[in-house]
Amino acid sequence: MPIRPSPEQLEEFAEKAPRGELYMLNLLKFKAKAEYPDGRKTNLSGAEAYGQYGAAVGELLKEMGGRVVFSGVPNVMLIGEGDIEWDMVAMVQYPSLHEFQQMTGSKEYLAAHVHREAGLEHQLLINCLSGEQFGRGV
């Protein structure tokens, strides 16, 4: 399951990214046990490893003026069928595409990224437009 964007996804995102604030919807599925790419031994769950990544990114967000708008655990499916696939959902706001790119290219982010890879089984990361950005003004 993918946890990184494809080159085509990156290209489309660069073409269609909105001006101004950037909103990213995260749908997260964790591994039962963290698996680090460097083979280190750990007793961390995937959620705990991802939590280390999240704490580091939270600090970077604060520094740039971004924020976690909402973060939580899915509870009950009210409409739809099947099982809830995701372990966690989050909506994150970045001041701009430029700030997002600066953060994800920073040495601090790259150092924390190993915990993301160790903890995630699967992710959907969806750029969402605000009402103002898609012309509804809501």
Confidence of residue 1 (pLDDT cuts 50, 70, 90): low
Using the predicted structure, report yes or no on whether residue 24 has a pLDDT greater than 60: yes
Query: What pTM did the predictor assign?
Result: 0.89
Using the predicted structure, report yes or no on whether residue 136 has a pLDDT greater than 90: no
Tell me, letter by letter, the H, E, C secondary structure of the chain.
Answer: CCCCCCHHHHHHHHHHCCCCCEEEEEEEEECCCCCCCCCCCCCCCHHHHHHHHHHHHHHHHHHHCCEEEEEECCCCCCCCCCCCCCCEEEEEEECCHHHHHHHHCCHHHHHHHHHHHHHEEEEEEEEECCCCCCCCCC
CATH of the domain spanning 21-128, picked from 3.30.70.100, 3.40.1400.10, 2.60.40.10, 3.30.70.141: 3.30.70.100
Using the predicted structure, report yes or no on whether residue 12 has a pLDDT greater than 80: yes
